[in-house]
Amino acid sequence: MKTKRFKSVWDAIEDTPGEAANMKTRSTLMMTISGYITQQGWSQAKAATALGVTQPRVSDLMRGKVQLFSIDTLVNMLAGAGFRVEMNVTKRRKKAA
């Protein structure tokens, strides 16, 4: 049996490179928000108020339910917490044959 290696779990479980990139982006944004909430010592109710969402949405975020969040929603939540999101887009290199 041949072992296949992936750069991320999303590359392994998503059907296309685009879907994997989307999930990687969302999970990175979610980890930033949840880490900030933890760092601030906020309750979910306090975080919801600060981020402009409901407490159940914060609960979903803290439980890592990435499939429930769009990139737009996560960027808006980060903006509510005073963050600025910057992107870096690069072309993938083709693997040598």
Asked if the structure places residue 65 within a domain, the reply is: yes
Residue 96: strand, helix, or coil: coil
What's the number of domains the chain is made of?
Answer: 1
What are 2-56's pLDDT values in tens digits?
Answer: 777 766 665 556 667 778 888 889 999 999 999 999 999 999 999 999 999 999 9
End-to-end CA distance of the chain: 22
pTM of the model: 0.79
CATH of residue 64 = 1.10.260.40
Structure tokens at 6: 């992936």
Asked if the structure places residue 30 within a domain, the reply is: yes
* Chain centre to alpha carbon of residue 22: 9
pLDDT of residue 87: 85
Asked if the structure places residue 88 within a domain, the reply is: no
Asked if the structure places residue 90 within a domain, the reply is: no
pLDDT of residue 8: 64
What are 52-97's pLDDT values in tens digits?
Answer: 999 999 999 999 999 999 999 999 999 999 999 998 888 877 766 5
Asked if the structure places residue 34 within a domain, the reply is: yes
Q: Indicate the DSSP class of residue 81.
A: T
